[in-house]
């Protein structure tokens, strides 16, 4: 079948299934182009919770599809490529978090949404990069366990007086962002505004103009008068910004590439709509216990 034939069939099957396609901004261009809604982790969670359709087809990585299922348990959440995991999410497990909680009994746990569902079930509030600081500030108490991303935790800790106990995990593509690449691109585009994601290491922040999640980057560019931007996050975001702002110029701050975000294809999306699978299913007890924490995340911040 031709590429346009597949896209046409996807439209037909989407209507037949009463489905909506949600995609993260790191997805391949062809998936961003076909999606009904493209957004950051927080926007996608809110969209999943409020969608009218009976079926959510999620193009992203597993923890995102699981979060949609936690927030919308009566909808069917299709996840076309079950192998699309997140090594950052996999670096924490529930028994290890409980051990840390026993060491710090006065601290509430704020968990980055890039985490497994059974760990979410042990946390007080989830957060995304868009609202991590607001969540930490907004919860009761002066002591917080923050997991699993150490760079995001460090970025938050620099802006609050609360005491943070930070898990030592990291997103591989972001944490390996190369400072020399950023310096080289900055020397070629000295007039550009530099925006980097808080999952990158602190030396990247020190060279940048703003540290923002992907949704924050879009809002920043929208308000800015600058013409050129260097983008320090997964390269899918350069495509996203270029489609939203065709009158501006964007360059990646070096190679930040997430292989798990790139495995979704139109063929897999079509197969998933036809088969009504693979479906995201979590143990009901874990899903219900995670709901409170994930709901606090969707209620706080922009």
Residue ranges binding ligand 13P (CB under 6 A): 40-41, 114, 128-130, 171, 174, 199, 213-215
> 61 or 282: whose CB is closer to ligand 13P?
61
Question: In the 8-state DSSP scheme, what is residue 149?
Answer: B
> 92 or 130: whose CB is closer to ligand 13P?
130
> 76 or 129: whose CB is closer to ligand 13P?
129
> 72 or 130: whose CB is closer to ligand 13P?
130
CA angle in degrees (0–180, nearest 5) for 101-104-108 = 65
For the chain, first and last CA: distance in Å? 42
Determine the Cα–Cα distance for residues 122 and 100; give it in Å rounded to an integer.
11
Going edge to edge, which strands form the sheet with 193-196? Answer: 210-211, 193-196, 228-232, 249-252
Shortest approach of ligand 13P to residue 6 CB, angstroms? 27
Q: Within a 10 A sphere around the Cβ of 156, how many other Cβ atoms? A: 26
Signed CA dihedral, 63, 65, 71, 73: sign only: negative
Shortest approach of ligand 13P to residue 219 CB, angstroms? 11
Shortest approach of ligand 13P to residue 260 CB, angstroms? 10
Shortest approach of ligand 13P to residue 133 CB, angstroms? 13
> 76 or 200: whose CB is closer to ligand 13P?
200
Shortest approach of ligand 13P to residue 14 CB, angstroms? 23
Is residue 78 within 8 Å of residue 276, measured between CB atoms?
yes
């Amino acid at each position: 079948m031709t590429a346009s034939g597949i896209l046409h069939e996807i439209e037909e099957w989407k209507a037949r299934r009463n489905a909506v396609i949600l995609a993260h901004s790191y997805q391949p261009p062809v998936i961003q182009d076909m999606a009904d809604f493209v957004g950051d982790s927080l926007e996608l969670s809110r969209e999943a919770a409020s969608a009218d359709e009976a079926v959510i087809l999620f193009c992203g990585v597993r923890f995102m599809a699981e979060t949609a299922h936690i927030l919308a348990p009566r909808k069917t959440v299709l996840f076309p490529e079950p192998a699309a995991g997140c090594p950052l999410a996999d670096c924490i497990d529930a028994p290890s978090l409980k051990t840390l909680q026993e060491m710090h009994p006065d601290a509430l746990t704020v968990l980055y949404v890039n985490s497994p569902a059974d760990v979410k079930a042990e946390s007080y509030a989830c957060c995304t990069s868009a609202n991590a600081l607001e969540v930490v500030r907004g919860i009761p108490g002066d002591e917080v366990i923050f997991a699993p991303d150490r760079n995001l935790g460090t970025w938050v800790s620099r802006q609050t007086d609360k005491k943070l106990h930070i898990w030592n995990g990291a997103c591989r593509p972001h944490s390996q962002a190369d400072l020399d690449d950023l310096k080289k691109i900055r020397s070629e585009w000295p007039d550009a505004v530099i925006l980097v994601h808080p999952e990158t290491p602190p030396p990247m922040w020190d060279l940048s103009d703003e540290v923002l999640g992907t949704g924050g980057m879009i809002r920043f560019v929208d308000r800015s008068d600058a013409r050129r931007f260097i983008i320090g996050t997964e390269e899918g975001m350069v495509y996203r910004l270029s489609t939203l702002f065709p009158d501006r110029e964007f360059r990646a701050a070096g190679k930040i590439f997430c292989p798990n975000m790139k495995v979704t294809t139109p063929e897999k999306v079509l197969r998933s709509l036809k088969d009504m699978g693979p479906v995201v299913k979590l143990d009901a007890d874990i899903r219900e216990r995670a709901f409170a924490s994930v709901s606090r995340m969707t209620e706080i911040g922009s």
